[in-house]
Structure formats: structure tokens, C-alpha cells
Amino acid sequence: MSQYQAVKGTKDIFPEESAQWKYVESVVHTLASLYGFNEIRIPVFEYTELFQRGIGSTTDIVGKEMFSFQPDPQGRSVTLRPEMTAGVMRAVLQHNLFSSAPVHKLYYIGELFRKERPQAGRQRQFSQFGAELLGVSSPAAVAEVITLMMHVFESLGLKGLKLRINTLGNTEERFRYREALQAYFAPFNEVLDDASKDRLEKNPLRILDSKNPALKELIAGAPRLYDFLNDASLQDFEKVLFYLSERHIPYEIDHRLVRGLDYYCHTAFEVTSSELGAQDAIGGGGRYDSLARELGSSSDVPASGFAVGMERLLITMEKQGLLASLNHPVPLVFVVVQQQELADHALAIAWRLRKAGISTEMDLAARSMKAQMREANRMKAAYALFIGANEYTTGSYSLKNLVSSEQQIFSLEALLEFLHESATKEVVD
RNA sequence: GUGAUUGUAGCUCAGUUGGUUAGAGCGCCAGGUUGUGGCCCUGGAGGCCGGGGGUUCGAGUCCCCUCAUUCACCCCA
């Protein structure tokens, strides 16, 4: 056990695994641009007030999960970003993007930080990719972000994911519903658990998705938000569902789905994976029209977005056997030196091969031929190129195929040509 | 923040009712083959038995504390 270990809830990603990450990221980049989203990269920390205003001070994230610190004794408190949406909106408003175009479609991949107790599928540093469609209030906008998200899952080959969807209505509807809920739950105050009592005051909607089995019956009898929605809100939701059906995206309406963040309105959705254990949400999102105003914008900015947990996505892919064939790149050629007097010559050859675009490795530690061959084998190099006294004097090159064990002699030109062909063939395979 | 769980070699794990120099498999290194890998054989390196304290003639083993891990609650990706 070494003296230092990674901070609680963080983890190292070694080459085997980083190859998997790169693959998923490449799919995200490709599909996001297919849908017309462009990448935004924002700072990993922001002033703490941004998250307090944006996410909402009653949420657990702001209440107890933020990594906050003060860079200067007199300075303002800053916080490692616990989610992306607030920062993206801040960047868009700060740079007045809406003065140049009415609609902005942005996506991101990045690390987030939340001070929670780690468990399966939950870390203190984790990654999400996500997209935000800003400036459009049409149901087509939410449908588009959901479609992009589901397209990524499909493209990666994931099976059996469940999309649950609900509508939270507009601010006014939710306010009236909130009062109705408080009126409903108030007489049962003694029955409620501590967390729910707290929520009754601050955010009664969240009592609805409590997992406490003791409250199940009580919750089932609660008034439904659906009954508080006006025609416009209902039609908006119906239209979203229509788009999903038309695109063959299966969903399940869940009237108890309430997302944890204060800024959501109208459509809210969540995707779960049965492969994940207790933390089974792999992605989620919704509409958040009020966020911009919350952050000081003078006008509303209709917005839709989703976020997907990279680690949870990768765990699910692993369980479904979708990562087995992904490996880090291996060298095509391993240069083996017979005697150390030829090491410089071998280095020169390796350099020439690399300049010619042929991935090449060699032992830099002056080890025995046997050790060099073992290394080549361990690296799964396709060929071993022998640099020995014979080859050196005759100006020839012995190349051994490490799979078939066949060995043949080349001139330098022929060698380069042969390896170049092998390299392009590998890429095609 | 609460509960439970597990800490012995790089990895996966043995280690009897407390009893001499703490083991195996895999991996690593070297040799068997001083111009050729994988398979095989031989040898080798590598352990404050998570840390601290206590009980005992004696602790990897028992007790207390602590740190860390994992899982669950809460909540979320």
C-alpha cells in the first residue's frame, strides 16, 4: 500500500479503459454534430452563487454536496461544478450569444464534482456528456434532445434502457399544485419521515418520488399534477410524446417523476438501466425555461437539455459485453537489437519507420534479445524487426511475423512498402 | 451525514483452537537456447499481514480506536 492514494470517490483510468472512453466520446462527438450541436467547454469551477441561484438552494446538491473554497482570503467563494447546465447558461448569457443568433445548440463532455458518499455508480468526481438547446420553446426542441440522447445509446448498442417521462407544467401551474400538495400532506405530518417533512415546506413535489415504502400509499392518493395543467401545457406534452412515438422511441409516462433540480419545468425525463444497482439513472433532463431569468437575464430563455453519466454508461456497456473488443492501440513493429553496438542504428531505423507512419516500439533499456522478444509479444506487436550484425553488413532487414512465425528478408525500400501496406490493411480491418 | 462490509505480495486469495524463518496461483525478472517471443522446466525478486494502542511468555489470528474499501440509505448522472 503506497503512502498516497487517490482521493475518496475518484478513480484512475488506465490505457485499457481509456480506449473505451475515447470510443464513447467519439460517438458522442459524431452524433452531436450530426444533430447540429457544437461543443462548448467551460471552466470546472464557478462562483458559488451561480449554483445556489441556478440549481436552487433547497436541493441536496447545493445544500450538502458542493466542493466550495475561497481562492483568496477576501475573495468570493467558488465551487467545483456539480453539474453543467448552470455554467453553460452563464457562459451564453455572459457573452450575449442571443444577440448574434436566436437559437444555440451546444453539447459538452466534462468532469463534475459532488461531495457524496461513493457507492456503485457514484463517485465524487464523475463525467457527463450532455446537450443544451437554447432559445426554442417548441416541444420539438425537447424531443430533439431526447432523440439525440437515445440515438447515442442505440449507436453504442445498449439494450433494455427505460425512458420515463413526465410533465411538470409551467411555473403557475406548479405553484397551485404545490399548494394542493401541501394541503394534502399537512394532516399527515406525523406520518411523514424527516426528509419528507422538510420537503413539505421547501419542495413538496419531491415527496412524490420518495422511495420510502411506508409512504407509498399516502403518495398514491395525492393529487396529480396532470389535473392542474391547462390546455396549452397538456398539448405541449402530447406533442413531445407524439414525436417520440413517431421516431420509435419507447417511453413510459411516470406521473411521479420529479427531477431534483429546481429549474425544470414542463417535460422532464430520465433513463434508467437495470444493469446498475441502486444508482440506476444513466441519464436525464428536461425543460428549464426559468433558469436564465434566475441567473439575471431580463427575458426568458426557453431551454431543453439532457445529461448522461459516462461512468454509468460504461458500466452498463461493460455488463452488456459491448466493451470487449475495445483495446488500446498496439505497435505494428517491435525493433529487436542483437548487440548493443547496433542500438543507435536500430533507433535510427525505428525513427524512420515512425516518420513513415508505421507505429514502432523498441526496448530502450538495453535488455537481452529474449527480453526484447518477450516485450514484443506482451505488447502484441504484429512484427519483430531484427537488427543484427548480418543485416547491418548486408544492409538487409529480417522481419518476423509474430503470429505466423514466418520470417523474411527485405531491403529498406521493400520493408517500408511492406509495412506501409500492413498498416493500412490493419486500419481497414 | 447514517448503517453494514472488507483490509495478508503487483492481482486473486489461503493462513487450523493465538505458537518458530507468513504461503499458493497468476503476473514480474533471470536462466535453460551468448541471433528469435508464446508452451514447458529451473531459479529469483517482491509482504511494517492498512495504521495505532491493548491483552498475552507469544498476535496475521483476540479487544479497543483510527484510516481506507465496498455496498446500501438519502439524493442524483
- 3-class SS string, chain A: CCCCCCCCCCCCCCHHHHHHHHHHHHHHHHHHHHCCCEECCCCCEEEHHHHHHHHCCCCHHHHHCCCEECCCCCCCCEEECCCCHHHHHHHHHHCCHHHCCCCEEEEEEEEEECCCCCECCECCEEEEEEEEEECCCCHHHHHHHHHHHHHHHHHHCCCCCEEEEEECCCHHHHHHHHHHHHHHHHHHCCCCCHHHHHHHHHCHHHHCCCCCHHHHHHHHCCCCHHHHCCHHHHHHHHHHHHHHHHCCCCCEECCCCCCCCCCCEEEEEEEECCCCCCCCEEEEEEECCCHHHHCCCCCCCCEEEEEEEHHHHHHHHHHCCCCCCCCCCCCCEEEEECCHHHHHHHHHHHHHHHHCCCCEEECCCCCCHHHHHHHHHHCCCCEEEEECHHHHHHCCEEEEECCCCCEEEECHHHHHHHHHHHHHHHHHC
Nucleic acid strand B within 7 Å of A375 CB: yes
| Residues A264-274: tens digit of each pLDDT | 889 999 999 98
What is A333-428's CATH topology? Rossmann fold (3.40.50)
What is A15-169+229-319's CATH topology? BirA Bifunctional Protein; domain 2 (3.30.930)
Nucleic acid strand B within 7 Å of A132 CB: no
> In Å, what is the separation between the CA of A17 and the C1' of B12?
20
Q: Report residue A289: phi and psi, to 5°.
A: -65, -25
- Would the pLDDT of A59 be above 90? no
Name the residue with higher pLDDT: A77 or A4. A77
Nucleic acid strand B within 7 Å of A390 CB: yes
Percent of the residues in chain A that have a pLDDT greater than 70, as a whole number = 97
| Residues A416-427: tens digit of each pLDDT | 999 999 988 765
Angstrom distance (rounded) from CA A384 to CA A338: 12
Domain residue ranges of chain A, discontinuous segments joined by +: 15-169+229-319, 333-428
Nucleic acid strand B within 7 Å of A195 CB: yes
Angstrom distance (rounded) from CA A334 to CA A256: 60
Three cell numbers written together for A269: 425525463
Determine the pLDDT at residue A155.
Answer: 97
Beta carbons of A374 and A390 less than 8 angstroms apart = no
| Residues A177-225: tens digit of each pLDDT | 888 888 888 887 777 777 677 777 777 777 777 766 677 777 777 888 8
* Residue A5 confidence class, pLDDT cut points 50, 70, 90: confident
Angstrom distance (rounded) from CA A254 to CA A88: 28
- Residues A359, A360, A365, A368: is their CA dihedral positive or negative? positive
Three cell numbers written together for A44: 470546472
Q: Which nucleotides of B are covered by protein (CB under 7 A)?
A: 1-3, 9, 28-31, 33, 35-38, 48, 50, 68-77
The whole-number average pLDDT for the span A91-107 is: 96
Angstrom distance (rounded) from CA A319 to CA A409: 46
* Residue A2 confidence class, pLDDT cut points 50, 70, 90: low
Angstrom distance (rounded) from CA A5 to CA A372: 32
Name the residue with higher pLDDT: A237 or A16. A237
| Residues A109-163: tens digit of each pLDDT | 999 999 999 999 999 999 999 999 999 999 999 999 999 999 999 999 999 999 9
Pairing between β-strand A78-80 and β-strand A360-362 as defined by DSSP bridges: unpaired
| Residues A262-319: tens digit of each pLDDT | 778 899 999 999 888 888 999 999 999 989 999 999 888 999 999 999 999 999 999 9
Determine the pLDDT at residue A426.
Answer: 63
Q: At residue A37, what is the residue type?
A: F
Q: Which of A139-148, A317-326, A366-375 has the lowest mean pLDDT?
A: A317-326
Determine the pLDDT at residue A220.
Answer: 78
ipTM of the complex: 0.88
- Would the pLDDT of A428 be above 80? no
- 3-class SS string, A95-153: CCHHHCCCCEEEEEEEEEECCCCCECCECCEEEEEEEEEECCCCHHHHHHHHHHHHHHH
Return the closest nucleotide (C1') to the Cα of A279. B76
State the average pLDDT for chain A: 91
Nucleic acid strand B within 7 Å of A388 CB: yes
Helical pair A310-319 and A15-34, crossing angle rounded to 10 deg:
110
